[in-house]
Structure 1
Amino acid sequence: MAITVPLAERWPVLAAEPNVLAWLGIRSALGIAPRTLDAYCRGLAEYLSFCAAGSADPLTAGRDHVARYVRELTQRPPQRAGAGRDPSSGANLRLANATIQQRLTVVRLFYDHLIEEGLRDNNPVGRGRYAPSARMGGNRRGLVPHEVRLPWIPDEGDWRKILNVARIEPIRNRMMLALAYDAGLRREELCCLRTDDIDPGHRLLRIRAETTKGRRERVVPYSAVSGELLRAYLGHRAGISIARGPLFLSESRRNHADPLTPWTWSKVVRRIAVAAGVPRFGTHTLRHLCLTDLAHAGWELHAIATFAGHRNPATTLQYIHLSGRELASKLAHGMAQLHDWRVAMLATAEPAGHA
C-alpha cells in the first residue's frame, strides 16, 4: 500500500495497525484531500497512543474506554506558554472544541469502517440524535457539546493597522490580500488559483471544485480596484515566469517560480498581523470580513451562501447575525465606496521588498 511508507515515518503507531492502514488507504484512493487525510492520521495516531497507554485493544474498545478518551481530551492540561496560541490574545490554550470534535469524528469514522467490514457490531463513539418526546430520550447530545463561536472581525481601527503594514508589501502579497477579501476566498482557494481561472474582461474568478472545502465549483466577481492590482501583478509575474499555471509564485531563492503554498501564505499573513499589532488577524479573517460586509450591504442569505460556497446556509447565518441586519438599509448606499476603500491603499502603495 503506497500510504504505508509515509505513515511509518510520521506515525509509527498507525503503521502497526493493518485495519487502520486499510481504512486510510481506502480514503486516500477515494480522493480525500491531503490535509483531511493528514488530520485523520493525526487524530487516529493520538487515539491509538491513548489505547496503548491504557493497554486497550482499539478494535474491541467499548464506550467506557471512549469516555475516558473524551475526558482526557477535554481535561488536558494547558500547553506551555509559547507552544500554542498567543497568550496575549486571551485564547484558551487547552484543546479547542472544534479540535476535540475533529478527533472524535475520526475515531467514529474508523469504527464505522470496522462495522462495515464485519469486525464490530456497534460504534462506541455515539452520535447526537433528536427524539421528538422525552419518553423516547428527548434531545440527546453528542459526547462533547458543540460550541458555536462567532468569527472575530476586525474593526475599522484594526483594518487600518493591517493596511498600513500591508501597503509596503510586495505586489504579490497585496494582490493576494485584495482577492482574499474581495472574493471571500479560503486560503487554499486563493493559493490554488491558476492563470486560466481569471476572466479579466468580466472581472470574474473561477474557483475550481477540487480546491474548495465542499468540492463545489463557483464563479465569483472581484472589484475594479483588485483588477488594477491584478494587472500590475501579472506584469510583475511575467518577470518570474511566462508559463501559464499557478497564479501566485514564490520569489524566494530556494523555491523561485514554484507555486506559493498555503503554509507560506499563512506565514506572510502572520508576519503582517504581528507587525500591525493585530495578532488575531489570520488568512480566514479576510473571508469573514467580506461575508460580513455583504450581509451589512443587505445581501440575501442565499446569495451570500452561493458567493461563499457554503453547502449549509446555517454557516452563513453566523455572518448575518454578526452584521446587525437591521442596519443594512442604512449602510447599503455606502457599501460600494467602503468595499473599494478596503483595497484602495493596496493598489496605490509602493512595494518595499519581497517576502
Structure 2
Amino acid sequence: MRDDLGCAPRTIDAYGRGLTAYLVFCATHLIDPISAGRDDIALFVRDLTDRPSFRPRSVAEHGAPSFPRLSNATVQQRLTAVRLFYDFLVEEGLRISSPIGRGRYAPGGRAGVSRRGLMPRFTHLPWIPDDEAWDAILTVASREPIRNRTMLALAYDAALRREELCSLRTDDIDPARRTIRVRAETTKGRRERVVPYSAPGGELLRAYLAHRSTLSRARGPLFLSESPRNWAEPLTLWTWSKVIRRIALEAGEPRFSTHTLRHLCLTDLARAGWELHAIATFAGHRSPDTTLQYIHLSGRELAAKLASGMAQIHDWRIALLAATAAGSA
C-alpha cells in the first residue's frame, strides 16, 4: 500500500524492517500482535532501548563485549512503523483503538495528566567539518577522478541529497544559466526545485561531460559507473556512499557522509545572512523547523542578539557613568 501511495523505496524498506522487528518481538514473547495492549508496547520499547544494534554470529561463539545500542532516531522510526501498523488495523476494523498514539501517551489516559512521548526525542545538530577537517577532506578529494570531484562540487553547490545527486540526468543541467533542475520524483518531499551552481562547479562539470562522452554519448543519467562490471551504467547510491566513506576514512574524518555537504552548504547560507524562507526554498524543505537547525548551527541569530544586547548594556553603563560625572560637577 505504501509503495502504491508513492512512498520512497528506502522509507518502505525502513518501515518493513521496523515492523519485522516488532513481529519478531511478539513471536519471541508469545504476544498476539493483533490484540497487543499498551503494556506490550511498553515492553517493546524497553527491548529496543536495552538491546545492542547488532549481534554478529561471533557473539554466540566467543561471547561479545558491549556493542553500540540503537540510536534514538532508529527507535523513533521503529515506533512509527508499529503505529502505522495499528492505524491500519483500526481502519480495517480489526481493532477498536490503537495501543500506540502518535508519539504521546498518558498512563491510564486520565484527564489532566501531563502527556509525554513514548520515548524522549533527541534533536542533535548535524555535524559539519571545521576548517581543519575541511582542508583534510579537500586534500583527499583533490586526488579523486573528475566524476567524483564534480559530484562533490555539485552536492555542496546545490545542497543535494544523495538520491538527488545520483539521479541527475543530462537534461537537468542548464549550463547557460548554471542551474540544476531537481526533479520531484527524486526528492524527499516530492517537490521540484531549480538551484544554481558556482562557476568553479561549472568548470568541473564541463570537464566531466567531456570525460563522460568517452563512456557514452547517449543522453540520460549524468553520472556513470566506470566499473568493468557495470560499465557506463547509472551510478548507484551505494557506490557513491562507498566513495564518500573511503574519502572520509582517508581524511581521518569518519563523520563525513554523503549528507555532510548539504549540511555544510545550508549552514554557510545561514552564515551569509540568507533569510529562513530563502534557505528553505533552496533546500526544498516543507517545514521551516527543518531549516531552523541550520540557522542555529550557524550561530547567526544568537550572535546578532548577543551583539545587540551587549550594545544596550554598554550604553546603559556609560550613561550611568555620565550621569554620575554630571552630578559630581
TM-score by length of 2: 0.85
Q: Does 1:208 align with 2:186?
A: no
Structure 2: how far apart are the matches of 1:158 and 1:321? 21
- Change over 3 Å in CA distance of 1:154–1:307 after alignment to 2: same
Structure 1 distance, partners of 2:205, 2:143, is 16
How much does 1:56 deviate? 1.1
Structure 2 partner of 1:233: 208
Which of 113, 116, 125 is residue 100 of structure 2 equivalent to?
A: 125
Q: Cα–Cα, structure 1 residues 328 and 192, in superposed 2: closer, same or farther, change >3 Å?
A: farther
Counterpart selection for 1:263 from 238, 241, 259: 238
Shift of 1:136: 4.7
1:32 CA drift (Å): 2.0
Distance 2:257 2:23 in 1: 32
Residue 220 of structure 1: SS of its match in structure 2?
A: strand
Structure 1 pair 137–260 and aligned structure 2 pair: CA distance change class (3 A): farther
The 1:326–1:34 alpha-carbon spacing in structure 2 relative to 1, beyond 3 Å, is closer
Instruction: Give the corresponding residue for 1:163.
Output: 138
After superposition, what is the alpha-carbon deviation per residue over 1:237-262, rounded to whole angstroms, capped at 9, x for unaligned? 00001111110010000011111111
How far apart are residue 325 of structure 1 and its match?
0.5
Give the fraction of aligned pairs with identical amino acids, expressed as a percent.
73
Change (3 A) 1:241 1:137: farther
In the alignment, is the contact (CA less than 8 A) between 1:130 and 1:138 conserved in 2? no
Aligned partners of 1:290 and 1:195: how far apart in 2?
23
Q: Does 1:42 align with 2:21?
A: no
Corresponding letter in the other structure for 1:238: S
Pair 258,137 (structure 1): closer, same or farther in 2 beyond 3 Å: farther
The counterpart of 1:290, out of the listed 265, 268, 271, is 265
Residue 95 of structure 1 corresponds to 70
Instruction: Using structure 1 for the length normalisation, give the TM-score.
Output: 0.79
Aligned to 2:161: 186
**C-alpha distance in structure 2 between counterparts of 1:209 and 1:236, whole Å:** 28
Structure 2 residue 127 is matched with structure 1 residue 152: yes
Does 2:192 correspond to 1:217? yes
Aligned equivalent of 1:346: none
User: Structure 1 counterpart of 2:82, which letter?
Assistant: V
Output the amino acid matched with 1:321.
H
Superposed CA RMSD: 2.0
1:325-352 deviations in Å (ceiling 9; x for gaps): 15989xxxxxxxxxxxxxxxxxxxxxxx
Aligned equivalent of 1:105, options 47, 56, 80: 80
SS at match of 2:230: coil
User: 1:200, 1:227 within 8 Å by CA — same for their partners in 2?
Assistant: yes
Q: Identify the residue that residue 66 of structure 1 maps to in structure 2.
A: 41
Q: Whole-Å Cα distance in 2 between the matches of residues 145 and 126 of structure 1?
A: 14
1:250 aligns with 2:231: no
1:30 positional shift: 1.9
Are 1:306 and 2:301 matched, yes or no? no
User: CA–CA distance in 2 between the matches of 1:183 and 1:141?
Assistant: 38
SS in structure 2 of the partner of residue 27 of structure 1: coil
Contact 1:73 1:95 in 2 (8 A): yes
Secondary structure of the residue that 1:206 maps to in structure 2?
strand
- Label 1:199 to 1:327 Cα distance change in 2 as closer, same or farther (>3 A): farther
Change (3 A) 1:130 1:79: closer
How far apart, CA to CA, are the structure 1 residues paired with 2:230 and 2:75? 35
Query: Secondary structure of 1:44's match?
Result: helix
Deviation string 1:161-204 (CA, Å, 9 cap, x unpaired) is: 00000001000000000000110010000000111111110011
Where 2:27 maps in the other structure, the secondary structure is helix
Cα deviation code 1:103-134 (max 9, x no counterpart): 00001001101111111111111224599xxx
Matched residue of 1:120: which SS? Answer: coil
| Count of aligned pairs between the two proteins | 292
The answer as to whether partners of 1:296 and 1:328 remain within 8 angstroms in 2 is no
Letter in 2 for 1:280: R
How far apart, in 1, do the equivalents of 2:27 and 2:166 lie?
Answer: 39
SS at match of 2:74: helix
- Work out whether residues 105 and 118 of structure 2, in 8 Å CA contact, stay in contact via their aligned partners in 1: no
Residue by residue over 1:131-161, the C-alpha shift from the partner in whole angstroms, topping out at 9 and shown as x without a partner, is: 9xxx953652221111000001100000000
Equivalent residue, structure 1, for 2:323 = none
**Given that residues 208 and 218 in structure 1 are in contact (C-alpha distance below 8 angstroms), is that contact kept between their aligned partners in structure 2?**
yes
State the alpha-carbon separation in 2 of the partners of residues 104 and 327 from structure 1: 34
Distance in structure 2 (CA, Å) of the matches to 1:247 and 1:130: 48
Contact 2:53 2:68 (8 Å CA) reproduced: yes
Cα shift at 1:275 = 0.5
